[in-house]
Structure 1
Amino acid sequence: MTDRIAILGGGTGGAVLANNLAERLRPEIDAGDVEVTLINDDPDHVYKPIWLYVPFGKREPADARRPLQSLVDDRIDLRIDRVTRIDTDGKRLELRDGPGSLAYDYLVAATGSTLAPTEIPGLEEGGHDYYSESGSLALRDDLLSMTEGHLVLSVIGTPHMCPAAPLEFVFMADDWLRERGLREDVDITYTYPIQRVHGNPHIAEWAEPIMDERGIDVETFFNADAIDPEAGTVTSMEGTEIDYDVLAAIPPHRGVDVVEEAGLGERGWVDVNKHTLEADEAEDVYALGDAATTGVPKAGSVAHYQAGVVAQRLESEIRGRPATETYDGKTLCFIETGMDSASYVEFDYENPPSPAPPSEKLHWSKLAYNESYWLTARGLL
């Protein structure tokens, strides 16, 4: 009997998991005893952190894309299709293009995050994000034409992808405007929905003095609920209004509808055991990366580490051994603090982050990782 593993999503978590399984279960796959299918609705694999650099003219969107086929082991059955229904009782997936449905024995949801700007009135027309290709290009156009006025970075939706990216953007924008001799003519304001500048108190404590030193204004406990593009204003549910000339907004995020419709969790996120990554509401279902509600950041490093855990657990289950591997919350992240300096944090469930002093060396380390990422996705690092 063949064990069938289906992976939904070809982002960092899905690609790393597929390649990890191809290596771990090589004998079983070659013998036809195991089949691994990776389903993604885009033929390209997208490395989204590149989009942070696009507004500043440092990278192009094409730098973030590679054909998924070129990254995935030949032993993996890659299907470019969209899953329209998950039947966890019958262990079947309905596909948009088909043909027919796909049966599985083990399912891994690596479905990532999607942006939901329409949840905030006026956001699509009045603000740009750098969490999408189109948003980063539009924001680049706005920044290049800006010589004076008010630049606002508003974190509207939490949780969101790459929690450090809003901090990175204002630090980079401050430095970029200084290099162009425009900083004195452009005010920068950063808003965050709770009473500190970041969700993690240790990172907030580190970041706030840097903002103060650089003259970046801060509005905390600011939950934006409406944007008026014509007036150029952002209004919060607390009653505060901020004028802007350029608005960089982090929109609300959600998972994918098919996950919520399957009863696996709200807003398209999968409720899981934060150590084993097993779904709470279905048997033989795992989730990883952004899709999994583990309480850790929605970051690429998280997906990478979790993919290793899920791969080892699936290997154990298929080979008839107890699945003992667990995820400890490990996360690491470089944080750009300007156009040529960066910090670094590493933490887990038990150990809080302690950002390293910013340096040019760490900035170049982040750029080097961005280049080597494609080896990571292939399972070579």
Structure 2
Amino acid sequence: MKKLLIIGGGTAGTMLANKLAKGLTKELDERSVEITVVSEKDYHVYQPGFLYIPFQLKRPEEIVRPIQDVMDPKIKIILDTATEIKEQQKAVTLKSGKTLSYDYLILATGSHPQPVQIPGLEEAGHMFFTMDSALKLQEEMKKFKGGRVVVAVGLPHKCPVAPLEFVMMFEDWVRKQGIRKETEITYAYPLAGPYGTASVAELATREFEERNINIETFFFMDSVDTKTKELLSMDGRRLPFDLLVAIPPHKGAQIIEKSGFGDGDNWLPTDRHQLNLENHESIFVIGDATNLPISKAGSTAHFESEILAENLIDKLRGGEGNKKYSGKVFCFIETGLDKATYISFAYENPPKPVTPSKMVHYGKVGYNNMHWVNLKGIM
């Protein structure tokens, strides 16, 4: 029996597992192939939905499903934590002490916010990249009556456009609350503009200028002064705030650090076309865990999973599995509570945002609601 072992039950791991199960129906029925997913949680969260929680546009139950409801029944699910990869033995050790062998290992271990890297942030600031933090920010926004708002970004992080979305949605929200004149909004970003890609930065700059949102560039978060309520940069600048929303830097999973496969931030060196771990023929990487120069986003995982599933199926059937991933990504960008734009790009094709409109916003609403179908590999 050939064994496919996927570490991670998030969007990337689930999409890939379902596509493999769909393509290997015969082999699974004959028990010549086994697909196993190791997940730390017994539920799946649609993480892009966190953006809407602070604005009370989504409820927690709308973006959470039991893991067995989103996985093909032919997939074996193990609720545990992978703690060690034994490459020579082609095995993975779990926290429970169990060891799983594999023929092909797929690392879908994700990216994880590191608020501890910004001292004072957890005490005096907010974020929205977890359910608990999004709900906490929702409660703070219910009490907000105006003041100085700072939205600050650390790199790298998943959902690269999410901070831009939040600040533009927030500006629209305070306007609709009737407190825009009482609110000063500052967006602090560590690069020369409000985004790393020129075309998106230009769009954001236009929107910010029209809506009187201040931009602080080359702002590398250092710490939060919890007594004076100021965000400090590494070059000594201080941004006073009444409400601080920060996106802390992210890192890869702890198992990557222990394995020795990753870089200093636990990102995995990944072949940009074949998606194998560099210099490894039986280990592959998908989703946020890669070091690829593209967005750590759900759509990235979607397009990667299409290629990787086809290649793994071909390899299991004696082929070479040589289809190439082009770096394709598609991202909606909310520019307010009822308008959005989108970008589509790949390694060789930079993004070109379209004019924001209500139609594109409704397209994103529809896409959000279709996530569960998409996750099952039906689309």
TM bucket normalised to smaller: over 0.9
Residue 368 of structure 1 corresponds to 366
| Alignment partner, residue 195 of structure 2 | 198
Match of 1:36 in 2: 35
CA apart distance, 1:230: 2.0
Corresponding residue number in structure 1 for 2:241: 244
Tell me the secondary structure at the aligned position of residue 181 of structure 2.
helix
Q: Give the match for residue 135 of structure 2.
A: 137
Corresponding residue number in structure 2 for 1:26:
25
1:268 corresponding residue in structure 2 = 266
2:123 and 2:196 map into 1 onto residues whose CA distance is 27
Shift of 1:68: 0.9
Letter matched to residue 61 of structure 1: P
In structure 2, distance between residues paired with 1:132 and 1:188: 23
What code does the residue aligned with 2:132 have?
S
Is the contact between residue 151 and residue 188 of structure 1 (CA under 8 Å) also seen in structure 2?
A: yes
Q: Please tell me the residue identity of whatever aligns with 2:109.
A: T
Shift of 1:201: 1.5
Aligned pairs for 1:251-290 (under 5 A) are: 251-266=248-263, 267-290=265-288
* Residues 300-328 of structure 1: CA deviation (Å, up to 9, x unaligned): 00001101111111111111111111110
What corresponds to 1:58 in structure 2?
Answer: 57
- Tell me how far apart the structure 1 counterparts of residues 152 and 275 of structure 2 sit (CA, whole Å): 32
In 1, Cα distance between equivalents of 2:77 and 2:254: 22
The answer (yes or no) to whether the contact 1:196–1:204 under 8 Å persists in 2 is yes
Question: 5+ residue gaps in structure 1?
Answer: none
For residues 249-304 of structure 1, what are the alpha-carbon distances to aligned partners after superposition, in whole Å with 9 as ceiling and x for unaligned? 00110111111211211222211111111101533000011001111000000001
What's the offset of the Cα at 1:235? 0.5
Partner letter of residue 38 of structure 1?
V
SS in 2 for 1:10: coil
Can you give the 5+ residue segments of structure 2 that lack an aligned partner in the other structure? none
Aligned partners of 1:170, 1:358: CA distance in 2, in Å? 15
SS of the counterpart of 1:55?
coil
1:81 corresponds in structure 2 to: 80
Task: Supply the AA of the counterpart residue of 2:233.
Answer: S
Residue type of the alignment partner of 1:330: K
Q: Which residue of 1 aligns with 2:324?
A: 326
Question: Take 2:126 and 2:56, find their aligned partners in 1: how far apart are those partners?
Answer: 16
For residue 154 of structure 1, give the secondary structure of its aligned residue in structure 2: strand
Report whether the alignment pairs 1:187 with 2:203: no
Cα-to-partner distance string for 1:146-202 (whole Å, 9 max, x where unaligned): 11211110002x111111111101110111111111000010000000111101122
Q: Give, in whole Å, the separation in 2 of the partners of 1:101 and 1:276.
A: 27
Matches within 5 A, 1:143-162: 143-156=141-154, 158-162=155-159
Post-superposition Cα deviations, 1:85-133, rounded to whole Å, max 9, x if no partner, equal: 11112111111125x2000010000111111111111111121111111
Aligned residues: 378
1:24 maps to a residue whose letter is G
In the alignment, what sits opposite 2:347?
349
**In 2, distance between residues paired with 1:33 and 1:159?**
41
Aligned to 1:172: 169
**CA distance in 2: counterparts of 1:163 and 1:286, whole angstroms:** 23
**Which residue identity does 2:269 align to in structure 1?**
D
Equivalents in 2 of 1:198, 1:275: separation in Å?
Answer: 25
TM-score normalized by structure 1? 0.97
Deviations 1:334-377 (A, max 9, x none): 10000100001111111111101011111111011111100011
Q: Among all aligned residue pairs of Structure 1 and Structure 2, give the percentage whose two residues are the same amino acid.
A: 40
SS in 1 for 2:54: helix
CA contact (8 A) 1:279 1:286 kept: yes
CA–CA separation in structure 1 for the residues paired with 2:370 and 2:123: 36
Q: Is the 8 A contact 1:263 1:281 kept in 2?
A: no
- Distance between the aligned counterparts of 1:249 and 1:44, measured in 2? 26
Query: Does the 8 A contact of 1:264 with 1:281 survive in 2?
Result: no
Q: SS at the partner of 2:191?
A: coil
